[in-house]
Amino acid sequence: MRWKCICAYDGGKFHGWQSQKNAEAVQDVIEAALASIFEKQVRLHGSGRTDTGVHARGQVFHFDGDWAHGPERLLAAFRALLPMGIQIKSVRRVSSFFHARYDAKGKKYRYFIFQGTADPFEMAYCWSINRSLDISKMQLASSLLVGEHDFVAFSALNGDVMEDTVKNLRVLSVSSRGRHITLTAEGSGFLYKMVRSLAGALVNVGLGKLEPSDLYQILKDRKRVPLIHTAPAQGLFLEKVVY
């Protein structure tokens, strides 16, 4: 039996999604729960990794395991064993051909920014910037990056890279409500630290360090520059994996 699960987690409590030898990752904790439920080691497969400090509301993974009860009982078993920082939101049986990573058609992320000093209940889930940002310029800049482009200038890739750096960025938007700013990015796929790089670049546009046209030129030049810096991890949320 193959099971598809959607989970949420507080990335600040773990060393990323993917299993590691010397640190506790989200995958490690969920696999420990699976071992307890099935009384044997069970390997799960995620839609992709998230870095240390990055959060998720809609991470997807699958695993194989024979279960004599319904998915609601499996969900209850998960919730009894997992810590507060991880929540399995749904469990359902799927075809044995389904793969959480290879069947994904895209992902949706949100990045949260606070203009000013965020309170203690928000600080761990946003980038608190004690400056005012020019939202209209950020919106213009974001619109220039939408579409299919080579986004190598907005990644943290090093050396020779086998991954295709051309991605279809279907949505990149900036919205604000009071002092809260939300960046939404949805696309066919994302390079290493690409969303955080886009967030860092857009913030520099908002601060007046870059013009929207500068960002477009950097995209076309395919060369990362110092003003394309990686925004802090705690503001980033994986919202949804599209299949």
| Tens of pLDDT, residues 156-202 | 876 555 678 999 999 999 999 999 999 999 999 999 999 999 999 99
Q: Average pLDDT, stretch 74-96?
A: 96
Task: Tell me what the mean pLDDT of segment 94-113 comes to.
Answer: 98
The residue that leads in pLDDT, 23 or 71, is 71
Location of each CATH 3.30.70.660 domain in the chain = 106-242
Tell me what the mean pLDDT of segment 234-238 comes to: 98
Cα angle for residues 66, 69, 75 (degrees, 5° grid) = 95
Domain 2-94 falls under CATH 3.30.70.580: yes
Under 8 Å between Cβ of 185 and 108: yes
The mean predicted confidence, pLDDT, of the chain is 95
Please count the CA atoms within 13 angstroms of the CA of 32 that sit on its side-chain side: 12
Residues marked active site are found at 51
The candidate with the shortest Cα–Cα distance to 173, out of 190, 162, 186, is 186
* CA–CA dist 14, 183 (Å, integer): 24
**CA torsion, ordered 211, 202, 178, 184, to nearest 10 deg:** 140
| CATH of region 106-242 | 3.30.70.660
Q: Which residue intervals of the chain bear CATH 3.30.70.580? A: 2-94
